[in-house]
Structure formats: structure tokens, C-alpha cells
């Protein structure tokens, strides 16, 4: 069953952590995907005066859904842990144009942009980012804090650990295991398991 998310279904209050380029981009997508949502502003440690304040001193606001817009999965996880440790409700941003065969909702704590496609029986860890036009096959597992770029294809049954970076146009063959913190270079064709912390690229992908 293909499930689409209605933008009208998501009327809420949102604060975005991180006021960098990605944070501002995310605010733009939020306005487009959820025109009825009340976007309160950003929190950021480097530019608190241009924002609602810093992350480090932020006291979470009740009833607000917090999104973390940092390009690095490890940073997203740290910021989410800090905010949720103070009682913040961490949320998701799920594009209404995404093609979803798996149940994802605000509690999933993911960011899924544009026409990304997620097949059936996929599990996605908290603070994972999936960019426009990425394709995730059936039975894939993505750990916490992964970053999956546009035009990448993760074939059925692959298991990615936490904080894995899948750069644009990377292709993963079926049922591969990719270790925590591995990086798959742009345009890679990954045909074998990748160990934790290793960077691979090329076709067939080899260790950098
Ligand atoms: C794989 C990657 C992560 C490695 O980055 P890095 O460690 O900084 O490596 P370098 O750029 O120093 O490159 C080292 C060598 O590998 C080559 N190389 C790097 N990435 C490559 C790739 N994806 N495909 C083919 N060759 C690559 C470089 O040409 C260089 O070769 P040389 O030593 O013969 O000159 C990076 O190149 C990559 O693919 N980044 C994607 C960035 C991107 O698209 N980001 C957008 C995210 S939304």
C-alpha cells in the first residue's frame, strides 16, 4: 500500500535547530509542505541574536515540534539528544510528495524531502535525512543519523548502521551491510559490504 502524507494533516508549531544554509532551506520546504504550520523560528549557537536564541540555552516550548537541520548526522543526533533531554518533542518533516510504502510519522524524527521514495518494510532511525529523489528499496534498514543524498539508490535488504553518508548517485546492490560512520562517495556502485568508518568510491566502489 502506498501512503501519502497530506500537508493539511500536519498543522503544528515548529522550531528549527540550526540557522545555516540547510536550516534556511528546510524552513522553505516546511512552508511549502505545510502551509498551515506555525513556524516560530530558528535556534542556533553561533547566531543566537538572529534567532529565537541559542540551542545550548534553549528551554523547549510545550506543544512545539523541533526539527534539526544540520548536515552532519552526528551533530543532528547530539542536538536532538540535548533538546529531548530537556523535554523537547523532536519531530519529522515528511514531504507530501514522497512515495511511502512504509509507515513514517512525526515520531520517526526524520527529514524526507521532495519525491524521495521509500518502499515497504523499511525502518529508518531517528535524525536520518533522505534527500529529494533518493530511492530506498524494500526491507532496508537505516540507522540513526544517516544522510542519504539525491539520486542514490539503496537496493532491497541493505542494512546501514548509524551515521552512514550516502552521497549523490551512489548505488548499493541488494542485501549489503554498511558499517557505522561509513561514507559512500558520489557516483559509487557499492557491490560489497563496507566496514565501519571506511570511505569508498568508484565503480566498483573501493576504499579511499
Ligand atoms: C568520496 C568522498 C567523500 C571523498 O572525499 P575526500 O576524502 O575529501 O577525498 P578527496 O576529494 O581528497 O579525493 C581523493 C581522491 O579520490 C578521488 N575521488 C574522490 N571522490 C571520488 C568520487 N566520488 N568518484 C571518483 N573519484 C573520487 C579524487 O579525485 C582524488 O583522487 P586523486 O588523489 O587521484 O587526485 C567525496 O569525494 C565525495 O564523493 N563527496 C560527495 C560530496 C557531495 O556530493 N556532497 C553533496 C551532499 S548533498
pLDDT digits (tens, 9 = 90+) for 40-62: 999 999 999 999 999 999 999 99
Would you place residue 10 in the very low, low, confident or very high pLDDT band (cuts 50, 70, 90)?
A: low
**The predicted structure's pLDDT at residue 1:** 37
**With contact defined as beta carbons under 8 Å apart, do 154 and 172 qualify?**
yes
Is the CB of 185 inside a 6 Å radius of any atom of ligand 1? yes
Q: Is the pLDDT of residue 8 over 60?
A: no
Q: Is the pLDDT of residue 88 over 90?
A: yes
Is the CB of 199 inside a 6 Å radius of any atom of ligand 1? yes
Q: Is the pLDDT of residue 105 over 90?
A: no
pTM for the full predicted model: 0.93
Residue with the smallest CA separation from ligand 1 atom 14 is 208
Residue 85: other Cβ atoms inside 10 A = 9
Is the CB of 152 inside a 6 Å radius of any atom of ligand 1? no
CA dist 36 and 63 (Å) reads: 15
Tell which residue, 105, 101, 137, 136, has the closest CA to residue 120.
Answer: 101
Q: Is the pLDDT of residue 157 over 90?
A: yes
Cell numbers describing residue 193: 559490504
CA dist 40 and 202 (Å) reads: 43
Q: Is the pLDDT of residue 6 over 90?
A: no
Amino acid at each position: 500500500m502506498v501512503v501519502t502524507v497530506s500537508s493539511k494533516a500536519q498543522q503544528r508549531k515548529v522550531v528549527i535547530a540550526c540557522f545555516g544554509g540547510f536550516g534556511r532551506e528546510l524552513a522553505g520546504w516546511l512552508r511549502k509542505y505545510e502551509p498551515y504550520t506555525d513556524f516560530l523560528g530558528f535556534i542556533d549557537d553561533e547566531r543566537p541574536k538572529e534567532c529565537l536564541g541559542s540551542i545550548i540555552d534553549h528551554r523547549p516550548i510545550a506543544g512545539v515540534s523541533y526539527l534539526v537541520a544540520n548536515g552532519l548526522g552526528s551533530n543532528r543526533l547530539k542536538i536532538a539528544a540535548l533538546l529531548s533531554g530537556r523535554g523537547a518533542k523532536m519531530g519529522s518533516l515528511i514531504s507530501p510528495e514522497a512515495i511511502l510504502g512504509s509507515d513514517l510519522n512525526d515520531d520517526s524524527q526524520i527529514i524526507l524531502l521532495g519525491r524521495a521514495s521509500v518502499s515497504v518494510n523499511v525502518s529508518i532511525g531517528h535524525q536520518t535525512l533522505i534527500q529529494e529523489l533518493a530511492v530506498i528499496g524494500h526491507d532496508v534498514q537505516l540507522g540513526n543519523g544517516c544522510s542519504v543524498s539525491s539520486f542514490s539508490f539503496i537496493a532491497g535488504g541493505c542494512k546501514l548502521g548509524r551515521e552512514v553518508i550516502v552521497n549523490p548517485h551512489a548505488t548499493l546492490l541488494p542485501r549489503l551491510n554498511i558499517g557505522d560512520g561509513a561514507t559512500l562517495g558520489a557516483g559509487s556502485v557499492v557491490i560489497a559490504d563496507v566496514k565501519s568508518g571506511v570511505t569508498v568510491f568508484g565503480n566498483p566502489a573501493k576504499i579511499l
